[in-house]
Amino acid sequence: MAAVMGPGSGFGVPGAKRTRRWLLAVVAGWVVVLAGVSWWSVRNDPATVPEQRDAGQAMAPLRKAAGTLLAAAENGPWVIRLGAPHVETCRLTPVRDGRRAGQDVFLYVPQGQAEAALDQVAAALPGDYRAGVVPTKAGTRLALYADAGDFIAVEAHAEPADQVLTLSADTGCRPPGVTTAATGPAAGPAPATLTETVVALGGTAAAEVSVESAGCPEGGVAATYRATAGASGDRPVGVPAGTTVVWSSAGGWAYRKGSASVVVDANGERLQVAVTTACES
């Protein structure tokens, strides 16, 4: 009797291997086509998601958003300070690293005014930012959210009792780029308030000054000037007569002198003085 050959007997269907090879070739070709179209689209089509505009291209819009934040935060009984842009590595895809850039505006407010300050900042931002402040965690936390355009997100998180608020503009994770290409606008000379404060705190009038600047929405330039003064202490000193200290702790203190914001950082062996000139000045 002839043997009956069943599945798995070792005999394949004629042409099956050729069919599989043909299908694999088609799939591989299609992958190459899709990759080529994607490559062309990323380099020629307008950006529709942040991943299509690299971190270097995002630096100028980031600085613009920081300047708008600074302008929105400067009106009120509080103190402002502009931070420097910062860039960090992030994971763009499971196999590809990207870059994420951000810039912060620091707001020092009197006790119990965190919510009022965030509300005022949100109201002062341009209408197309669609800014708003919402309580979270049953009212124990505050959150400000806004959209600065160009895929730049703006946000702040704080508790109602906080006195140092951080307003952040953030690019999200993007392909790497030359993130040092876009620098801040040219700022004027350091204000006299900086030198006076440094000297009053045991420093010298010739102390080296660094500056971080931002363009104002209505034109002009706001800037934070920094210099090193004398030995650190744990209480406010060198505060001009008649000036009200907005915030103080073992880490420093902050106050307004006219339209200028003065922040003294007492962390470290020597005091660091930051004076910020406002957009309106």
Rounded to 10 degrees, the C-alpha dihedral 177/178/182/188 comes to 150
Domain that holds residue 248: 192-277
Question: What pLDDT was estimated at residue 21?
Answer: 67
Each residue's pLDDT tens digit, 142-176: 999 999 999 999 999 999 999 999 999 999 999 98
**Position 259 in a domain:** yes
User: Both 169 and 266 in a single domain?
Assistant: no
Query: Given this model, what pLDDT does residue 223 score?
Result: 96
Q: Are residues 60 and 110 in the same domain?
A: yes
Per-residue pLDDT band at 1 (split at 50, 70, 90):
very low
Note whether residue 244 is domain-resident: yes
Position 14 in a domain: no
Q: Do both 241 and 147 map to the same domain?
A: no
Rounded to two decimals, the pTM is: 0.79
What is the DSSP annotation of 206-242?
T---EEEEEE-TTSSEEEEEEEEEEE--SS--SPPTT
pLDDT at 136: 81
pLDDT greater than 80 at residue 36: no
Q: In the predicted model, is pLDDT for residue 271 greater than 70?
A: yes
Q: What percent of the chain shows pLDDT beyond 70?
A: 79
Q: Which of 38, 82, 41 is nearest to 261 (CA)?
A: 82
The predicted structure's pLDDT at residue 52 = 57
Q: How confident is the model at residue 16 (pLDDT cuts 50, 70, 90)?
A: low
Same domain, 72 and 124: yes
Residue 138 within a domain: yes
Do both 73 and 168 map to the same domain?
A: yes
3-state secondary structure of 11: coil
pLDDT tens digits along 203-219: 999 999 999 999 999 89
Whether 43 is in a domain gets the answer no
Look at residue 265 and tell me whether its pLDDT is greater than 70. yes
Amino acid 14 reads P
222 shares its domain with 155: no
| Torsional class of 120: left (φ above 0), alpha (ψ -120 to 50), beta (otherwise) | alpha
DSSP secondary structure code for residue 127 in this structure: G
**Per the structure, how many domains does the chain have?**
2
Task: Point out the domain boundary residue: 120, 144, 174.
Answer: 174
For residue 73, give the CATH number of its domain. Answer: 3.30.2030.30
Same domain, 232 and 151: no
Across the strands, what pairs with 164?
108
- Whether residue 34 is contained in a domain is answered as no
Residues 170 and 59 in one domain: yes
Residues 73 and 158 in one domain: yes
Both 168 and 84 in one domain: the answer is: yes
**Residue 187 is assigned to a structural domain of this protein:** no
Both 104 and 217 in one domain: the answer is: no
Which of 147, 174, 201 delimits the end of a domain? 174
The pLDDT score that the predictor gives to residue 53 is 77
* pLDDT attached to residue 166: 97
Other CB atoms within 10 Å distance of the CB of residue 149: 12
pLDDT at 237: 85
147 and 209 inside one domain: no
- Mean pLDDT, to the nearest integer, of 6-35? 55
Q: Is residue 77 part of a domain?
A: yes
Any idea which residue has 């906080």 for tokens? Answer: 162
